[in-house]
Amino acid sequence: MRRTITIQPETFPLSTPFRISRGTKTAAEVVTVRIEQDGVAGRGECVPYPRYGETIDSTIVAIDAVRGALESGAGRDELLRLMPAGAARNAVDCALWDLEARLTNSEVATMIGLKQPIGPIATAMTVGLDTPDRMRVAAAALADVPLIKVKVDRTDPAAQLRAVRDAAPLPRLIVDPNESWTIDEVRSLQQLLLDLKVDLLEQPLPAADDAALAGFVSAIPIAADESVHEASNLGALPDGYGVVNIKLDKAGGLTAALQLAEEARRRGLDVMTGCMVCSSLSIAPALMIAVDSVFADLDGPLWLAHDREGGVECVGGKLRAPRPGFWGDS
């Protein structure tokens, strides 16, 4: 068996800037991996994330370092030993899943034993961080979707959240400060979160400050995002968390994400599925986790000016899987 590995950086401009507490994105910068064997090719995509010290260049170097092993036939289990969790491993792992499905005329959904088809999945539609007035306008355009995610910071989260809820009174609501709050702010905003019928608070504290959540009983569930990358991190989580946000770029691929989901549930934690700002090639494998998640936050491709051909479609806040043959099937 001999394989050919292609590593390609790609840029997808956004249709509108994406703002969170850490900064603003105007394009999705991704790395695409293509693994060809016996005339059949599998693809995977990752989004290097500066929050974790990743860049496009460092990701390409990390993938190039395992090129020899991949060309010689290394599989997904061996990949877990060859590469650490992170974006680089994600692109390779997802390409290997895609390749195997095509070589065996199968589907990844069947290979992992999904018991239900991947139908339309309600995804969080993001209201980016902005002035309360602009966030109100953005929320008004999403007033009829099932789920909204609101990006906030420390400047005036109460005003930001009230503006969104005023414009969109019906959707379920996820609030995401992206590690920008303190434990005092989490405590002081509890009543407001209840009053606004918020369903989930995502990673309010910096991951390094997690200890402050030990013994904390929140009025609404709190999800760990930046605090959890792979299954081995779960033992260090304080009991203030009740949900784990699984992102394939953090976990290092679908293989590790499946392990993380299984272990999280074993520990009594709920699972949500998230993503970076990306193309549909990142979302297709994430749907394998999302189908059994309590929340899905997979609107990354919806921010792009132009997605990959045949990718996901969103109608009324519900994602439809990519067209047959896009990823994970023959």
Number of H helices, E strands in the chain: 12, 14
Q: What is the DSSP letter of 225?
A: S
If one counts the domains in the chain, the total is 2
Of 136, 148, 217, 139, nearest to 176 (Cα)?
A: 148
pLDDT at 116: 73
pLDDT at 117: 77
User: Residue 191, Cβ neighbours under 10 Å: how many?
Assistant: 10
User: Residue 116, Cβ neighbours under 10 Å: how many?
Assistant: 8
Q: What is the DSSP letter of 194?
A: H
115 part of a folded domain: no
325 part of a folded domain: no
Give how far the C-alpha of residue 37 lies from the chain's centroid of Cα atoms, to the nearest Å: 29
pLDDT at 101: 97
Catalytic residue status for 247: yes
Low-confidence ranges of the chain (pLDDT < 70): none
Which residues are bridge partners to 176 per DSSP?
151
Annotated catalytic residue, options 25, 151, 197, 250: 151
Catalytic residue status for 115: no
Residues 44 and 178 in one domain: no
Angstrom distances, CA of residue 315 to CA of 115, 122, 125, 282, 318: 24, 9, 11, 19, 5
Residues 154 and 249 in one domain: yes
Residues 53 and 141 in one domain: no
Give the CATH number of the domain where residue 20 resides: 3.30.390.10
Its pTM surpasses 0.85: yes
Q: Measured in Å, how far apart are the chain's first and last C-alpha atoms?
A: 20
pLDDT at 115: 77
Sequence-distant (≥ 6) Cβ neighbours of residue 325 within 8 angstroms: 310
35 part of a folded domain: yes
What domain range is 45 assigned to? 3-105
Residues 83 and 140 in one domain: no
Q: Please name the helix (run of DSSP H) or strand (run of DSSP E) that holds residue 280, with its range, or none.
A: helix 280-290
94 part of a folded domain: yes
Distance CA 127, CA 20 (A): 10
The residue from 105, 139, 155 where one domain ends is 105
Structure tokens at 298: 């997979």
80 part of a folded domain: yes
Distance CA 89, CA 316 (A): 33
CA atoms within 13 A on the CB side of 317: 23
Q: What is the DSSP letter of 171?
A: S
186 part of a folded domain: yes
Give the CATH number of the domain where residue 213 resides: 3.20.20.120
Residues 127 and 25 in one domain: no
pLDDT at 212: 97
Distance CA 277, CA 301 (A): 7
Residues 53 and 15 in one domain: yes
The residue from 105, 131, 160 where one domain ends is 105
Distance CA 156, CA 175 (A): 13
Residues 132 and 212 in one domain: yes
Q: What is the DSSP letter of 231?
A: G
Residues 15 and 151 in one domain: no
110 part of a folded domain: no
Instruction: Please return the burial class of 103, using the count of CB atoms within 10 Å of its CB with bins 0-12, 13-18 and 19+.
Output: middle
Residues 137 and 254 in one domain: yes
Question: Is-contact 307 326, C-beta < 8 A?
Answer: no
114 part of a folded domain: no
The residue from 105, 129, 151 where one domain ends is 105
Annotated catalytic residue, options 115, 149, 197, 247: 247
Question: Is-contact 267 273, C-beta < 8 A?
Answer: no
Of 218, 219, 212, 276, nearest to 245 (Cα)?
A: 276
Residues 187 and 101 in one domain: no
| Pairing relationship of beta strands 318-320 and 313-315 according to DSSP bridges | antiparallel
Residues 138 and 267 in one domain: yes
Residues 85 and 135 in one domain: no
